[in-house]
Amino acid sequence: MDREHMAADLAQVLLTEEQIQTRLAELAADIWRDYEGKDLLLVGVLKGAVVVMADLMRALPGTAPMDWMAVSSYGSGTKSSGVVRILKDLDADITGKDVLIVEDIIDSGLTLSWIKANLESRSPASVEICTLLRKPDVVKVDIPVKYVGFDIPNEFVVGYGLDYDERYRNLRCVGTLAPHVYA
């Protein structure tokens, strides 16, 4: 699918490239200040967080290592159940590290609660969460998110790492899809 078709598949652009980059620069500055003197490790959750991680880490005023995890959450259709299986674990031990989980989106928060608890069981110094997007359903679980890019409405969005059937991840904005895409 070419770029022209991809853009034509959007019903609405919720966040422009400029809005996203501006917010990421603010978050990066906050993170750098908060983690001064700490042993920061960025942990990305594949695959959606790839784009956020790439831009967030380059917006940091300094350098920090990163690691990646891939999980699959069993659920009915599009809703996650919170039952999670690790597809790819971290490469390295996180004992004593100040872990910052980098996510693209938190919907119910069930997947992330599981990941957070799992990482906390490995004796890190701390585990916090940074997400570009947060949906309103997350209030149903008690999961503190230290860094949030944007609170968005409860709609399915694509772009900036987020996919529909593995497509649209490379869109530079975040938007909703037009009805003809689902037809």
Q: Which residues bind ligand XMP (CB under 6 A)?
A: 48, 73, 80, 105-112, 156-158, 162-163
Residue 114 is classified by DSSP as: H
> Is 107 a residue of the active site?
yes
For ligand XMP, the closer of residues 123 and 156 by Cβ is 156
Q: Which does 105 bind (CB under 5 to 8 A by kind): Mg ion, ligand XMP, none?
A: ligand XMP
For Mg ion, the closer of residues 17 and 163 by Cβ is 163
Q: Which does 99 bind (CB under 5 to 8 A by kind): Mg ion, ligand XMP, none?
A: none
For Mg ion, the closer of residues 28 and 84 by Cβ is 84
Q: Which does 107 bind (CB under 5 to 8 A by kind): ligand XMP, Mg ion, none?
A: ligand XMP
**C-alpha distance from residue 44 to each of 3, 13, 155, 161 (Å):** 27, 25, 23, 12
Is residue 183 within 8 A of residue 170, CB to CB? The reply is no
Q: Which residue has the tokens 């990421």?
A: 24
Residues 141-170 as x/- pattern, contact with Mg ion by CB under 5 A: ----------------------x-------
Helix axes 50-59, 17-34, angle to 10 degrees: 60
Is residue 177 within 8 A of residue 156, CB to CB? The reply is yes
- Pairing status of strand 157-158 against strand 174-177: antiparallel
- Residues classed as catalytic: 107
